[in-house]
Amino acid sequence: MKRRKKIVNLVPLKTQRFKITYLFFLLLIFGLFGRLVNLQVFSAAELQKKAKLIQFTKISSLTRRRPIVDRNNRLIAYDKPLYKLWAHPRYFNFPGDSTNRSRSVEEVVNKLSPILNVKDEILISKFGNKMVGIELLDEINENQAKKIKNLHISGLDLIKYSKRYYPQSNLYSNLIGFVNYENKGKAGLELHLENQIKLLNKSNLVKIGGDGTPLPDNSGPRDFINDYKSLGLTIDSRLQKASFKALSKHVLKWNAKKGFAIVLNVNNGEILSLASIPSYDPNKYWEYNSDIFKGWYSQDLFEPGSTFKPINLAFALEEKVIQQDGLVEDSGKINVGGWTLSNWDKKGNGYIDYPRVLQVSSNVGMVKIMQNLPPKTYWDWLNKLGISKNLETDLFESTAGQLKSKDIFISQTIEPAVASFGKGFSISPLKLAQLHAVLANGGVEVIPHVTLNFKDYATNNSQEEIFSEEVSRIVLEWMESVVEKGSGVGAKIEGYRIGGKTGTSQKAINGRYTSKKVCSFVATFPINNPKYVVLVVIDEPSKAYAYGSTVAVPVAKEIIESLIVIEKIPPQIEKNRLIVKKP
């Protein structure tokens, strides 16, 4: 039996109900339109800012410094990437654990200790009762960091940073200096050339997807890496090591306060080695007294003594007040303005030529020679050398030398007299090396420098000719006689032509000379074609018979012998026959 269908009669919608429904949807549409206008117009800037915070992440580069290398690309200083490990125990969770499971400190430490090579109890003791923000360890290397990351333990964070290392320890400390815990230069070249060494921090915005995946953008390949340049030095690490070893041995032998040795290329001003004692380990700078960080060879002054006599003779030759083959009477003593001046041994040498004046280091002979030069002219020459000016170089800020005023120098006859044998004025050891380099290269000003790019500065500054080539040649030949048969004979090396001059000067403290000495020796090599100046200065040797000839000369000889081997310099004399090479 078929079921009968129910018939429903349609009733028209009430007008009132229809109007209410219509008004409701109309208001809804206007509300949505108003919201859209508000979002697109009035709140656009704020929403765009929020969108960028979600869509982009800021990546900051590490604070890094350029490596420092020697002339043969051997590392002297470099940045090593390291990590700090932070722990948050409340979030400890292993891979595969449920989200609400929390691992104990002991369980996490049990996995970390083999990687870090640290005992469990030491790591556990670092936690205390803290649940977040615990620094467990720093100086974690990249291999250890990789193993920790591979554990995928929640609640562990690795923060990457950069630390400065000096692989050659104290060999370069007084030259290179060090950086502090903030990676900022605090001494030496690290401080003085901070702007050339440090890499400027640079941050970048990286676009990311909702799941954190980086998305392609318009960043260039150099947006994330600043550069891979290094600061190249003129130093040869092999020669530096040899110089440091020789200097250390003799400073210790003579129980001296400090010592300095430099090898300078006289043709271009490049410093091939610069050793200074005492030194320190820049990797552990905090273990040393801050006084040791000073670059005293450019910042401390001393009276050069007899090592300045060749420079004075060049003045006299340039002004033609002496002749190459002239003689001077050395009576052993001389009275100047009521002051009695004498030779170091109180003995006279009779009539001697100018090479002999240098050989026996005659003070009286030098006084008489320089008395031929008007004091005004003499002072002008000293001023021309820049005695009282800062030495412009890429080393630390140098200290200007001290020279008496022109009025005093001219009016008091004792001043030019003592200046004739290197007293009454003071300069830095580095300045003395520069002056002998000028003499060695034919009289042209040379600027000592230690960075390879310093030549860019030198080419923009005219180099003044101070001495004539002929005068320079004559004085160098006289200096050669000092090594052949004078006070510098201890530096003689068979087959090689070496010129030099010893110096032993008393130290003045509070305006009065004391028994404390500065012993020095400067050598030019090879004399027939000068290329190198070697200067050794040893301050306050405390044993008897301490002179430039006994204290400084042996150091210079060892350095020159190393230089000959490293630079493969052939002999200039063979079986008493001079080997003349074409330029």
Which CATH number fits the domain that encloses residue 138? 3.90.1310
Which residues are 162's β-sheet partners?
81
Q: Is residue 53 part of a domain?
A: no
End-to-end CA distance of the chain: 133
Same domain, 573 and 478: yes
Q: Are 371 and 382 in contact (CB under 8 A)?
A: no
Same domain, 222 and 308: no
Q: Which residues of 330-367 are buried (b: 16+ CB within 10 A; e: fewer)?
A: beeebebeeeebebeeeebbeebbbbbbbbbbbbbbbb
Concatenating the DSSP letter of every residue in 350-374 gives: EEEEHHHHHHTT-HHHHHHHHTTS-
Same domain, 89 and 188: yes
Q: How many CB atoms lie within 10 A of CB 478?
A: 25
Of 176 and 572, the structure prediction assigns the larger pLDDT to 176
Cβ partners under 8 Å of residue 244, min gap 6: 171, 261, 273, 275, 277, 279
Same domain, 227 and 254: no
Q: How many CB atoms lie within 10 A of CB 20?
A: 10
Cβ partners under 8 Å of residue 202, min gap 6: 60, 61, 223, 226
Q: Are 534 and 261 in contact (CB under 8 A)?
A: yes
Same domain, 141 and 279: no
Q: How many CB atoms lie within 10 A of CB 268?
A: 16
Q: Are 273 and 243 in contact (CB under 8 A)?
A: yes
Question: Which of 211, 232, 253 represents a domain boundary (last residue)?
Answer: 232
Number of structural domains the chain divides into:
2
pLDDT at 222 over 50: no
Q: How many CB atoms lie within 10 A of CB 184?
A: 14
**Which pLDDT belongs to residue 340?**
94
Q: Is residue 18 part of a domain?
A: no
Structure confidence by residue, pLDDT tens digits, 39-73: 777 777 776 766 666 655 555 455 688 999 999 99
Of 223 and 398, the structure prediction assigns the larger pLDDT to 398
Structure confidence by residue, pLDDT tens digits, 297-339: 999 999 999 999 999 999 999 999 999 999 999 999 999 989 9
Q: Is residue 135 part of a domain?
A: yes
Q: What is the CATH number of the domain that holds 311?
A: 3.40.710.10
* Catalytic residue check, 154: no
Q: Which two tokens stand for residue 146?
A: 């990789």
Give the confidence band of 149 by pLDDT, cuts at 50, 70, 90.
very high
Q: Looking at this protein, which amino acid is placed at residue 420?
A: S
Q: Is residue 19 part of a domain?
A: no
Q: Is residue 192 part of a domain?
A: yes
Q: Is residue 113 part of a domain?
A: yes
Percent of the chain whose predicted confidence (pLDDT) is above 70: 87
Structure confidence by residue, pLDDT tens digits, 434-478: 999 999 999 999 999 999 987 655 444 557 899 999 999 999 999
Same domain, 447 and 514: yes
Element at 471 (helix H, strand E): helix 469-485
Q: Which two tokens stand for residue 433?
A: 């090396």
Same domain, 201 and 248: no
- Tell me the residue ranges of DSSP E strands in 348-473: 350-353
pLDDT mean over 248-265: 97
Domain that holds residue 556: 237-289+302-578
Going by C-alpha positions, the residue among 315, 322, 426 that lies closest to residue 379 is 315
Going by C-alpha positions, the residue among 519, 529, 507 that lies closest to residue 556 is 519
Question: Which of 203, 232, 261 represents a domain boundary (last residue)?
Answer: 232
Q: Is residue 134 part of a domain?
A: yes
pTM here is 0.81
Same domain, 187 and 277: no
Which residues are 540's β-sheet partners?
none
Q: Are 329 and 350 in contact (CB under 8 A)?
A: yes
Question: Which of 232, 261, 279 represents a domain boundary (last residue)?
Answer: 232
Question: What CA–CA distance (Å, rounded) separates 168 from 184?
Answer: 20
Cβ partners under 8 Å of residue 583, min gap 6: 529
Same domain, 417 and 345: yes
Question: What CA–CA distance (Å, rounded) separates 43 from 145?
Answer: 45
pLDDT at 96 over 60: yes
Give the confidence band of 120 by pLDDT, cuts at 50, 70, 90.
confident
**Which pLDDT belongs to residue 318?**
97
Cβ partners under 8 Å of residue 138, min gap 6: 82, 83, 84, 85
Given the residues 243, 306, 428, 505, select the one marked as catalytic. Answer: 306
Same domain, 262 and 154: no
Give the confidence band of 172 by pLDDT, cuts at 50, 70, 90.
very high
In the sheet that holds 271-277, the strands lie side by side as 271-277, 258-265, 532-539, 512-525, 499-509
Concatenating the DSSP letter of every residue in 224-248 gives: S------EEBS--HHHHHHHHHHHH
Q: Is residue 38 part of a domain?
A: no
Same domain, 447 and 434: yes
Same domain, 182 and 331: no
pLDDT at 357 over 90: yes
